[in-house]
Structure 1
Amino acid sequence: MRLRNKPWANEYIQQHPNLVIPNPEEVKGKWNEIFQNENPIHIEVGTGKGQFIVGMAKQNPHINYIGIELYQSVIVSALSKLEEEQLPNLKLLNVNAKNLTDYFAPGEIGRVYLNFSDPWPKNRHEKRRLTYKTFLSTFETIMVDEGEIHFKTDNQGLFEYSLKSFSEYGLLLKFVSLDLHKSDFEGNIMTEYEEKFSKKGQRIYRAEAKYPSKK
C-alpha cells in the first residue's frame, strides 16, 4: 500500500506529547505512572488509523491500551480519533515494533493485538512477519506470565503460517476461527481493513494464543 505523505504529521504529533508519548524509552517500566493506575496494559502492534484500539479503550475502561504505529502519516489518523474521544486509558507510540524491549520492561504488558499485519508473502521476507519467532520472543519478553497474542487477518496464507509459528514456539491455542463473522464470538471490534474486507465477502481469520507459564 502506498502511503500518502503528510508533511504536517510530525508537527501535529509533537503538539500532543500527552497522547503520542515522546521518548518512550524513558518510560520503560513506568507505564502505570503514565496511566496513573495499576490496570493491565494491552498493546496493538500496527495500530493503523486507530479504529480498533479506540473502540477497545471505549469498551474496556478498566484496561490501559497503547497503540503502536511506525508511520507518522498513518498514526495521525489514530491521534485525531483519540483527541476527539479523550480516552484516559489510551496512549500512542510512533515507534518500530522491533524495538519494543526498549520501551517496555519484562512483565509490563498483558496482551498483544496483531490486526491485519503485512503478510510479507515472499519467503525471503519471512523475518518481517509479526508472527515470526523473533517477534514472538520480543513479545514474550515484555509480557506477563501466560500473556496472550490475539491475531486477526484476512490472509489465509499468513494465518496458516502464524498458527504453525505459534505452535512451534510453544504457544497454546485458546481460540481459532476460520470465519470470524460467522462464528459466535462476541465483542469483536472491527478495524478499518476488516470492515472493508468483510463488505467484500472476504473471510476473516482470528486466533488467540497463550504463552506457556514460566513458573
Structure 2
Amino acid sequence: MRQRNKPWADDFLKENEHFIIADPQLNKGSWSEVFGNSNPIYVEIGTGKGQFIAGMAEKYPDVNFIGVELAKSVIVTAAQKIMETDYDNILLINKDAEDLKNIFAMDEISQIYLNFSDPWPKNRHKKRRLTFHTFLEKYRDILQKNGELIFKTDNRGLFEYSLVSFSEFGMTLKEVNLDLHAIDDPGNVMTEYEEKFSAKGQVIYRCRSEF
C-alpha cells in the first residue's frame, strides 16, 4: 500500500533520536546497555503503525522491544502512538531489514516477529520476501539459540511459500496454524491489519519456528 508522504517526518525523526535511534549500528552488541537492563530483546520487522509492538510492550514489561520499519511516513505514526504511553521498553529503528546484521550482533536477539509482510507475489520479486533464504540467514545469525521466528499473515500464498522456505533452510516448525483466531490464544496481540482482515472474516495464518 502506498503511504502518504509526511513532509514533517524528517524533523520529527531528528527531534526524537532518543527513541527512534538515528545510528543504530553504533549500538551493535550493546542494546542491553541502551535499554539499561539485561531483559530479553524481541524485534519486530515491519512495525507498521505500532499497535502490535505497543501491545506487546504493555503485555510483557520485562521484555525489551525494538521495531524496525523502513517507511518514514509509517514509523512516525508508530512513534506518535507509542509516545502516548509511558512504556520504557520500546525503541524504534528507521532502517531496512537488509541492515539487520549491521545493527545487531550474533545471538543478541531472543525473538523476531514478521507481521503481515509484503507478499511480493510475482516470482521475480521473491528475493524481497522477508522469508526468502537470504533474510533467514540474517535472522539466524542475530537470534540466540532456541530463539523463535514468529510469522503471521493473511496471505495463503506467502504462508505456503514461507513454510517451504523455512523447511528448506533446516528450521524446526514448532507451530503451523491455519486459522489463528479459531483458537483462544491469550498471548496473541493483533496488528492493525489483523484486526481489519479478521473483522472481514479472513483467515489469519501463524507459524512459529526456530533455527
TM category (shorter chain) comes to over 0.9
Tell me which residue corresponds to 2:84. Answer: 84
Q: CA offsets per residue over residues 58-97 of structure 1, 9 Å max, x none?
A: 1001110000000000001110011111311110000010
Tell me which residue corresponds to 2:192. Answer: 192
Two-structure CA RMSD over aligned residues (Å): 0.7
TM superposition score normalised by structure 1 = 0.97
Tell me which residue corresponds to 1:21. Answer: 21
Conserved 8 A contact 1:116-1:152: yes
Q: Quick one: distance in 2 between partners of 1:135 and 1:189?
A: 24
- Structure 1 runs (4+) deviating above 2 angstroms are none
Q: CA deviation at 1:131?
A: 0.4
Q: Quick one: distance in 2 between partners of 1:107 and 1:87?
A: 25
2:116 is matched by which residue type in structure 1?
F
Q: Quick one: distance in 1 between partners of 2:151 and 2:85?
A: 25
Per the alignment, in what secondary structure is the counterpart of residue 21 of structure 2? coil
Tell me which residue corresponds to 2:38. Answer: 38
Tell me which residue corresponds to 2:168. Answer: 168
Q: Quick one: distance in 2 between partners of 1:29 and 1:181?
A: 37
Tell me which residue corresponds to 1:55. Answer: 55
Q: CA offsets per residue over residues 6-30 of structure 1, 9 Å max, x none?
A: 0001111111111101101111111
Q: Quick one: distance in 1 between partners of 2:79 and 2:56?
A: 15
Q: Quick one: distance in 1 between partners of 2:208 and 2:125?
A: 24
Tell me which residue corresponds to 1:5. Answer: 5
Q: CA deviation at 1:154?
A: 0.2
Q: CA deviation at 1:142?
A: 0.8
Q: Quick one: distance in 2 between partners of 1:32 and 1:50?
A: 22
Q: Quick one: distance in 2 between partners of 1:126 and 1:116?
A: 16
TM superposition score normalised by structure 2 = 0.98
Q: Quick one: distance in 2 between partners of 1:130 and 1:82?
A: 25
2:209 is matched by which residue type in structure 1?
A
Which 10-residue stretch deviates more, 42-51 or 184-193?
A: 184-193
Q: Quick one: distance in 2 between partners of 1:185 and 1:42?
A: 19
Q: CA offsets per residue over residues 26-77 of structure 1, 9 Å max, x none?
A: 1111100110000100000000001000100110011100000000000011
Q: Quick one: distance in 1 between partners of 2:94 and 2:156?
A: 29
Q: Quick one: distance in 2 between partners of 1:98 and 1:73?
A: 19
Number of matched residues?
Answer: 211
2:134 is matched by which residue type in structure 1?
T
Tell me which residue corresponds to 1:66. Answer: 66
Tell me which residue corresponds to 2:119. Answer: 119
Alignment of 1:174-213 (within 5 A): 174-211=174-211
Conserved 8 A contact 1:177-1:183: no
Q: CA deviation at 1:3?
A: 1.0
Q: Quick one: distance in 2 between partners of 1:22 and 1:31?
A: 14
Q: CA deviation at 1:184?
A: 3.2
Give 5+ residue unaligned stretches, structure 1.
none
Q: Quick one: distance in 1 between partners of 2:84 and 2:13?
A: 14
1:74 is matched by which residue type in structure 2?
V
Q: Quick one: distance in 1 between partners of 2:38 and 2:10?
A: 31
Q: Quick one: distance in 2 between partners of 1:11 and 1:54?
A: 23
Percentage identity across paired residues of the two chains? 56
